[in-house]
Chains A and B, each alone.
Chain A
Amino acid sequence: DGGITQSPKYLFRKEGQNVTLSCEQNLNHDAMYWYRQDPGQGLRLIYYSQIVNDFQKGDIAEGYSVSREKKESFPLTVTSAQKNPTAFYLCASSAGQGGEKLFFGSGTQLSVL
């Protein structure tokens, strides 16, 4: 079945550590997105990529980095510069732009030790 796979489901970060969240899709979608979800705040866009080897900052990109070397993969690195990383992270993809339906992964819960 086609879909988006995020791993791990739960992740713990120590102070000063970088961690990488995985996102893989087999939907052949061009566009991929990373959202951060905090209780009571909805989803906020971190980074998005409309095509391989290209990505743009979203609304809250500070302290995060991404890469898009392959169409099916869009990993997110939470760096030590992100001072409040505890959140639920959601990856999504879409076939195109202009209001196309987003397909979401099941998320990664990141917590700080």
Chain B
Amino acid sequence: AQSVTQPDIHITVSEGASLELRCNYSYGATPYLFWYVQSPGQGLQLLLKYFSGDTLVQGIKGFEAEFKRSQSSFNLRKPSVHWSDAAEYFCAVGREYGNKLVFGAGTILRVKS
């Protein structure tokens, strides 16, 4: 069965510092991988996705993620964090049929000034 692990429940970074959020997945075939962001009490917004091809994927708001098949990882990065990036971030893997995503438990990002 597919699964997604986000090892860090909370992360705090200083504004302007770099960020890396970790995501590991378990899936037998080539996965579809996604990162979504959620502000409190709101729905989720897609940051970026990986289907195939270039393993470094660029997304919105200056985020990028790198797919590493050997490590079953899809970590999200941003070179310089802004206070508005404070939110909860979810990694998800798409299953083989249809568009049913399996989500990780999420990582809450706090940004300190």
A, B in one complex: yes
Neighbour of B103 across the interface among A31, A42, A106, CB < 8 A: A42
Whether A45 contacts B100 by the Cβ 8 Å rule is yes
A16 neighbours in B (Cβ, 8 Å): none
| One of B51, B97, B100, B105 near A33 (C-beta < 8 A) | B100
Contact A97 B42 (CB under 8 A): no
In this assembly, does B84 line the interface, its C-beta being within 8 Å of a C-beta of chain A?
no
Residue numbers of B with Cβ under 8 A of A are 4, 9, 32, 36, 41-46, 49, 51, 90, 92, 94, 97-101, 103-106
Q: Cα distance A104–B97 when bound, in Å? A: 20
Q: Contacts A42-B90, A42-B106 hold; do A104 and B99 have CB atoms under 8 A apart?
A: no
A interface residue count range (under 10 / 10 to 19 / 20 to 34 / 35 or more): 20 to 34
In whole Å, how far is B26's beta carbon from the nearest beta carbon of chain A? 14
Q: Chain B contacts of A104 at CB under 8 A?
A: 43-45
In the complex where A42-B90, A90-B44 touch, is A102 in contact with B9 (Cβ < 8 A)?
no
